[in-house]
């Protein structure tokens, strides 16, 4: 049981120094109204793993050792995981760049650690303006974390474009290139299970070709177009 020292007590006088604890954080997906990204605290299980791994990393924390360090895989529980069963997602932690990369999508956030005294409230790191980004992964992993063949010139992964239907049902709008790549990666998986977007509350179902907003429960159709076959007949 920890008993703190009294006012003015010191270790030399027999007092007990407060225990230091480390908290780990990852940046938010979206900036606030001022363009800054806030920090989200990792859970207790992730924190224990991060602390142990970082202790090991400190032994080789030297620029000449960076090439030898490969990082490690961590199971992360995001806030929306409760809506999809709480399975969590595998991320790759790389301390030299202080980054956390989703192994299935390549979506990369900054991570940071802070230190405080036990029984004190956690204090998040300073806000940053560096945006998350999509990092290419090698070997390329699909949306379910399974190894997929390297893309070639004729690979559907490099030529398919995905579209979402407008609210009035009169037009189709292209997803961003990164979202199209993410959707195509999931679509190429033989099981084609429903998949959550890595940063948005969107759930995609390839059986019914729909996109569901899990927060509002609104739903719309999605389409896949292969550029090799232009025109309406290329929509599947």
Distance CA 99, CA 60 (A): 17
Which is nearest to 24 in space by CA: 82, 134, 119, 109? 109
| SS3 state of residue 221 | strand
User: Strand pairing partners for 211?
Assistant: 204, 220
Q: Residue 5 falls within a domain, yes or no?
A: no
Asked if 172 and 223 touch (Cβ cutoff 8 Å), the reply is yes
User: In Å, how far are 100, 200, 202, 235 from 39, measured between CA atoms?
Assistant: 13, 17, 22, 41
**123 shares a domain with 36:** yes
Distance CA 10, CA 8 (A): 7
**221 shares a domain with 179:** yes
Least confident of 1-10, 110-119, 129-138, 163-172: 1-10
Question: What backbone phi and psi angles, to 5 degrees, belong to 83?
Answer: -85, -10
Least confident of 11-25, 37-51, 221-235: 221-235
Q: How many domains, in total, are found in the chain?
A: 2
The pLDDT of residue 48 is: 93
CATH, residue 208? 3.30.720.50
9-23, 141-155, 195-209: range with highest mean pLDDT: 195-209
Q: Residue 145 falls within a domain, yes or no?
A: no
**25 shares a domain with 109:** yes
Which residues, at least 6 apart from 231, have a Cβ–Cβ distance to it below 8 Å?
none
Which is nearest to 114 in space by CA: 137, 98, 138, 130? 98
- Higher pLDDT among residues 83 and 26, named by residue: 26
- Chain-centre distance for alpha carbon 113: 17
Asked if 198 and 109 touch (Cβ cutoff 8 Å), the reply is no
**122 shares a domain with 172:** no
Task: Extract the tokens encoding 84.
Answer: 């999809």
Q: Residue 213 falls within a domain, yes or no?
A: yes
Asked if 85 and 63 touch (Cβ cutoff 8 Å), the reply is no
Which is nearest to 80 in space by CA: 222, 234, 216, 215? 215
**129 shares a domain with 29:** yes
DSSP classification of residue 132: P
Distance CA 46, CA 44 (A): 6
Q: Residue 143 falls within a domain, yes or no?
A: no
Q: Residue 141 falls within a domain, yes or no?
A: no
Where does a domain end: 66, 99, 134?
134
Distance CA 11, CA 22 (A): 22
Q: Residue 15 falls within a domain, yes or no?
A: no
Residue 38 domain boundaries: 20-134
Q: What pTM value is reported for the model? A: 0.54
Q: 112-146, pLDDT tens digit by residue? A: 999 999 999 999 999 999 888 877 644 444 444 44
């Amino acid at each position: 049981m920890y008993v703190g020292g009294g006012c003015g007590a010191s270790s030399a006088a027999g007092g007990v120094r407060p225990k230091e604890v480390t908290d780990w954080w990852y940046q938010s997906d979206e900036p606030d109204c001022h363009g800054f990204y806030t920090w989200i605290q990792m859970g207790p299980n992730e924190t224990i793993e991060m602390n142990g791994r970082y202790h090991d990393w400190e032994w080789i924390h030297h620029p000449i050792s960076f090439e030898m360090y490969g990082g490690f895989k961590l199971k992360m529980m995001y806030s929306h995981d409760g809506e999809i069963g709480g399975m969590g997602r595998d991320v790759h932690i790389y301390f030299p760049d202080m980054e956390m990369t989703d192994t299935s999508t390549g979506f990369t956030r900054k991570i940071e650690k802070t230190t405080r005294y036990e029984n004190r409230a956690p204090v998040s790191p300073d806000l940053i303006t560096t945006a998350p980004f999509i990092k290419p992964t090698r070997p390329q992993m699909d949306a379910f974390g399974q190894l997929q063949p390297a893309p070639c010139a004729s690979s559907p992964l490099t030529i398919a474009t995905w579209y979402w239907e407008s609210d009035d049902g009169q037009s189709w709008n292209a997803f961003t290139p990164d979202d199209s790549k993410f959707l195509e990666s999931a679509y190429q998986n033989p099981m084609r299970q429903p998949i959550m977007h890595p940063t948005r509350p969107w759930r995609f179902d390839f059986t019914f070709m729909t996109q569901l907003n899990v927060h509002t429960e609104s739903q719309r159709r999605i389409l896949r177009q292969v550029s090799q076959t232009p025109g309406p007949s290329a929509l599947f």
